[in-house]
């Protein structure tokens, strides 16, 4: 006799299940990372933890925005990296030595992985959308075994008594609330008791293992980041075409977000930064409410996320389509610094060497303009007060390392920011903030700029901005 959670897949409910095909409409996107790659990752984790261990991972919690409105759900990085599963209230147990799982009244199997998911529920799905269920998790995600998440407690306890010496379990942080907190209560209880009674099972953090795996991207991951970067580059070009004095910063933001979603991006990689004039010198400004005036510089740090992978691209351009002499001088220093840094990127090079190349150009440039009075020391950091870049991946600030290796992706984003009333600086440079940022893939023989199609030469920007774009049409 089949268990109830399996039989429900054969029911005709909400137009989901037809002729025993309850999974037909669950997943619309086909350009996703393949189930076989996720399985390879899970197998790698099990190989690293060894036969005497088990590992537990859990999904990101749902978070309330206000009232009865939740934030749009986004899966936890490591959980997504291992499963490709996008629903909430899910848990994963990996056990190299195997777990005995009762499938139904007559069948018990031994499995190395169990994904615990929300059961199919026609009433709930009518409100919040179709669920994978256990069958969908196995057929679409490619997980070896899947059970309803209310079975987690019993399987977790069974895993503890299977003779393991090490339990790799994520800490259950205070921001985990609601149903997920309740599902994770066996872990919380065990951790508390393990400390109290000096358990023979040693607790370890699994995140370090997964972070190490995530540093070098696979070919499929690179394609996701390439797509995210191409989407972002097109959006930057569209914004440059459309921006003009009299618009508001939020209108520029709207252009980016429209371009992202029109090309299939599910999320922004991060809140869109569109700072003009005095706001261009604020690194993570995202209020985006100021009216854009003639002569303002526009600093737009906006990028798309695609299938969980985030790009990170910045362009700086004149609101009226023509750089002033001072804006051009600062812009060219930043562009030269970026080019010098990118030229250094190849396997075997340390990140601090890449960063030093940009620093040197900025120091020389600011000194030549009289903005810096001496080259020695760290005085340039007054106008360039952040690092050169960071890794990108499932997180816009992803895991990485100092030594460049083929398959790593870093941003290169030098900048110069001159606030009003900067001491010792000619006021003609006040409120000029310039940052130029691209996503760079380390290749076997050097590097590749994945966002290069977003124009960045002064002449190319000014030529592009002579056009009229989608943002110049009035709403009626």
Of the residues 296, 301, 305, 438, which is catalytic?
Answer: 301
Spell out the alpha helix ranges (H) of 243-369: 249-262, 325-344, 351-368
Same domain, yes or no, for 181 and 232? no
Of the residues 221, 251, 359, 413, which is catalytic?
Answer: 413
Closest by CA to 431, choosing from 269, 333, 318, is 318
Residue 275 to residue 174: CA distance in whole angstroms = 34
Q: Is 417 a catalytic residue?
A: yes
Of the residues 331, 437, 438, 456, which is catalytic?
Answer: 437
299, 275 in Cβ contact below 8 A? yes
Q: How many CA atoms lie within 13 A of 90 on its CB side?
A: 29
List, in sequence order, every residue forming a beta bridge with 268; answer none if it has no partner: 304
396, 410 in Cβ contact below 8 A? no
Could you say which of 196, 213, 230 is where a domain stops?
213
Same domain, yes or no, for 295 and 146? no
Same domain, yes or no, for 124 and 10? yes
Q: Is 236 a catalytic residue?
A: no
Tell whether the model's pLDDT for residue 16 goes beyond 90. no
Of the residues 81, 270, 331, 417, which is catalytic?
Answer: 417
Tell whether the model's pLDDT for residue 4 goes beyond 50. no
Tell whether the model's pLDDT for residue 8 goes beyond 60. no
Q: Is 21 a catalytic residue?
A: no
Q: Is 435 a catalytic residue?
A: yes
Q: Is 426 a catalytic residue?
A: no
pLDDT of residue 192: 80
Q: What is the CATH number of the domain that holds 327?
A: 3.90.230.10
Query: DSSP label at 18?
Result: B
Same domain, yes or no, for 413 and 273? yes
Of the residues 62, 181, 397, 448, which is catalytic?
Answer: 397
Range of the domain at 444: 215-472
Tell whether the model's pLDDT for residue 12 goes beyond 50. no
pLDDT of residue 175: 86
Same domain, yes or no, for 205 and 222? no
Spell out the alpha helix ranges (H) of 429-469: 458-464
Of the residues 284, 353, 426, 457, which is catalytic?
Answer: 284
Q: What is the mean pLDDT of residues 97-106?
A: 81
Query: DSSP label at 264?
Result: T
pTM for this entry: 0.92
Same domain, yes or no, for 186 and 224? no
pLDDT of residue 474: 82
Tell whether the model's pLDDT for residue 144 goes beyond 80. yes
Q: What is the CATH number of the domain that holds 87?
A: 3.40.350.10
- pLDDT > 70: what percent of the chain? 94
Of the residues 131, 390, 398, 429, which is catalytic?
Answer: 390
Q: Is 460 a catalytic residue?
A: no
Model pLDDT for residues 349-396, shown as the tens digit of each residue: 999 999 999 999 999 999 999 999 999 889 999 999 999 999 999 999
DSSP codes, 41-70:
HHHHHHHHH-TTEEEEEEPPPP-EEETTEE
Same domain, yes or no, for 285 and 156? no
Could you say which of 213, 242, 266 is where a domain stops?
213
Number of helices (H) and strands (E) in the chain: give both, helices first.
14, 19
Same domain, yes or no, for 310 and 358? yes
Tell whether the model's pLDDT for residue 19 goes beyond 90. no
Q: Is 312 a catalytic residue?
A: yes
Domain count, the chain: 2
Closest by CA to 401, choosing from 343, 350, 359, 353, is 350
Of the residues 19, 28, 65, 68, which is catalytic?
Answer: 68
Number of residues that this document lists for the chain: 476
Same domain, yes or no, for 325 and 289? yes
Residue 2 to residue 106: CA distance in whole angstroms = 9
Tell whether the model's pLDDT for residue 239 goes beyond 60. yes
Model pLDDT for residues 243-289, shown as the tens digit of each residue: 999 999 999 999 999 999 999 999 999 999 999 999 999 999 999 99
Q: How confident is the model at residue 105 (pLDDT cuts 50, 70, 90)?
A: confident
pLDDT of residue 108: 84
Q: Is 70 a catalytic residue?
A: no
pLDDT of residue 2: 38
Model pLDDT for residues 46-65, shown as the tens digit of each residue: 999 999 999 999 999 999 99
Q: Is 397 a catalytic residue?
A: yes
pLDDT of residue 97: 93
Could you say which of 213, 232, 258 is where a domain stops?
213
DSSP codes, 155-185:
HHHHHHTS--SEEEE----TT--HHHHHHTH
Same domain, yes or no, for 234 and 192? no
- pLDDT > 90: what percent of the chain? 83
Same domain, yes or no, for 129 and 179? yes
Same domain, yes or no, for 390 and 271? yes
């Amino acid at each position: 006799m089949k268990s109830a959670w399996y039989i429900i897949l054969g029911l005709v409910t909400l137009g989901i299940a037809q002729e025993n095909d309850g999974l037909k409409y669950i997943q619309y996107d086909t350009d996703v990372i393949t189930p076989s790659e996720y399985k390879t990752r899970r197998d790698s984790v099990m190989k690293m933890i060894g036969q005497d261990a088990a590992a537990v991972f859990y999904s990101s919690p749902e978070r309330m925005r206000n009232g009865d409105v939740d934030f749009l759900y986004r899966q936890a990085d490591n959980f997504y990296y291992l499963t490709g599963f996008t629903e909430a209230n899910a848990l994963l147990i990996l056990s190299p030595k195997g777990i005995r799982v009762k499938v139904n009244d007559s069948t018990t199997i031994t499995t190395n992985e169990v994904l615990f998911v929300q059961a199919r529920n026609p009433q709930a799905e009518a409100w919040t959308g179709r669920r994978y269920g256990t069958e969908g998790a196995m057929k679409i995600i490619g997980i070896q075994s899947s059970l309803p998440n209310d079975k987690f407690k019993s399987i977790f306890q069974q895993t503890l008594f299977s003779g393991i010496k090490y339990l790799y379990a994520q800490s259950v942080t205070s921001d985990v609330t609601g149903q997920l907190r309740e599902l994770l209560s066996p872990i919380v209880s065990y951790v508390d008791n393990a400390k109290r009674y000096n358990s023979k099972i040693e607790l370890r953090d699994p995140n370090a293992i997964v972070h190490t795996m995530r540093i070098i991207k696979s070919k499929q991951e690179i394609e996701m980041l390439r797509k995210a970067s191409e989407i972002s580059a097109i959006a930057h070009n569209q914004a440059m075409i459309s921006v003009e004095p009299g618009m508001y910063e939020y209108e520029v933001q709207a252009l980016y977000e429209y371009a992202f979603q029109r090309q299939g991006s599910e999320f922004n990689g991060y809140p869109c930064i569109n700072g003009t004039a005095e706001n261009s010198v604020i690194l993570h400004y995202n209020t985006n409410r100021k009216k854009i005036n003639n002569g303002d510089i526009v600093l737009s740090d906006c990028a798309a996320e695609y299938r969980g992978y985030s790009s990170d691209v910045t362009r700086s351009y004149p609101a009226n389509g023509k750089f002033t002499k001072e804006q051009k001088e600062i812009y060219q220093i930043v562009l030269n610094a970026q080019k010098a840094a990118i030229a250094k990127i190849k396997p075997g090079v340390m990140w601090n060497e890449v960063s030093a190349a940009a620093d040197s150009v900025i120091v020389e440039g600011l000194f030549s303009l009289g903005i810096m009075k001496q080259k020695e020391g760290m005085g340039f950091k007054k106008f360039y007060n952040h690092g050169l870049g960071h890794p990108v991946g499932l997180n816009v600030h992803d895991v990485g390392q100092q030594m460049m290796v083929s398959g790593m992706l870093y941003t290169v984003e030098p900048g110069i920011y001159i606030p009003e009333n900067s001491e010792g600086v000619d006021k003609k440079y006040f409120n000029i903030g310039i940052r130029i940022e691209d996503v760079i893939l380390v290749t076997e023989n050097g590097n590749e700029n994945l966002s290069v199609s977003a124009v960045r030469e002064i002449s190319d920007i000014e030529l592009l901005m002579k056009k009229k774009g989608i943002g110049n049409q009035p709403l009626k």
